[in-house]
Structures are given as C-alpha cells and as structure tokens.
Amino acid sequence: MAYELVELTIEVRLSYFYHDCLEGNYYNAYYLLDPQIFTLDFNTLENESRLAQTLHPFFRSLLINTATDNYRRLIRDISRGGLRVSQWAFNQGYNSNVLPLISQIEASVVEHSFDWFYPNNYGMVPAAESSIDLMLNKVRVEAEAEEQDCTICLEELKVGSDASQMPCAHIFHGDCIQEWLHTSHYCPICRFEMPTY
C-alpha cells in the first residue's frame, strides 16, 4: 500500500441515560460531539491492539468502558473498515500518502444514580463493610444464566466467569456490586437491604 498515514475522523453521537434507581425511571439526553481527528501511521490501523491503545483516552473521556467486548468490536470494525477502504482506493488507482477515514459512532452511556434528582438520597447509605465481606458469596456463572447481564454495568455475565451473589440470590460482577454497596445498602434489583452498621 502507498499509505503512510491515516487521518481518522471520529464522529460520535452519544445517548446518556440517567437511571433513577429509587424510582426506576430513565432520563435521557442526546449529544452530537464535535468530530475528533486522529493522525495515525498506517501500521497502527493494521494493528488492532495499538489502535485500541491510541483511541483509549478519547473513549474513556466519554465514559465508555474500554474493557468490554463491545469496545474491542468497535476497534475491529474501524481497523477492518479502514483496511477495506484503503484496498479499494488502491485498486482504483488513488495515490496518496494519507488515507482519509471517517468513522461515525453511536454509543449509549447509562449512569445509575440515587441523588441525580433527589439530593437528600432518600436514606441511601453504604452497606457495612463487615456485611459486604460476610454476606456476598463468590459464585461461578452457570450455563442456565447464559445471556444474563449485570444490571449495574449492563455487561454480560459470561458463563464460567466468577461473580458475586447477594443474599437475595441476585448475581453481579464482583467489582460492580462491591462498588455499588459502598454507595447503597440496597440490592439494585429487588432492594434487599444489607446491614448498615
């Protein structure tokens, strides 16, 4: 290929969903962000791992979880799409050192909140650290839980992976429920109450 550099323009439309966990309501807002332009060497476009590292700070600034399969698919799509365009342009006889690419992305971000609309937090207090240690059970996600998502981060609970189970039997990613219980003593699904002292 004749290309040395890639000028990658990323256009992002973000949907923010604020989940009021007390009421169970979602409030949303939409944003069309200013296009971001990245100048990369062509080898970075070919190497998905390097491309992911290069774009990581930008997507993290948008509160997009870059440790997910969805992010890896996004990077793969940008890389493979760019390589297809470069091959097509080469076959058409276009000759340039810079390959211009545009990637249009729609993403959703969910923010769970107890006090977004209710500053007094309606009695939400963290669970006692001792109750978290004693009452959360480490479990392995079983086959019948296939396609089940962690309702805190909305990512899949993969079969065979480790998770944490509340006394009410609801299952979450370990890190997710630990962080949740440091803010709220309620189960995010059924509002089972963990001790607060």
pLDDT computed for residue 150 by the predictor: 86
Separation of first and last alpha carbons in the chain: 65
pLDDT computed for residue 37 by the predictor: 93
Is the full-model pTM beyond 0.75? Answer: no
Q: For residue 8, what are the β-bridge partners?
A: 38, 101
- CA proximity to 46, closest of 10, 84, 89, 17: 84
- CA proximity to 30, closest of 107, 103, 104, 102: 107
- CA proximity to 183, closest of 132, 126, 112: 126
Which domains occur in the chain, in start order? 5-112 (no CATH), 125-181 (3.30.40.10)
| Beta-strand relationship, 5-20 and 98-113 | parallel
pLDDT computed for residue 3 by the predictor: 82
pLDDT computed for residue 139 by the predictor: 93
CA dist 12 and 100 (Å) reads 17
Model confidence pLDDT, tens digit, residues 56-101: 998 888 777 788 888 899 999 999 999 999 989 888 888 888 989 9
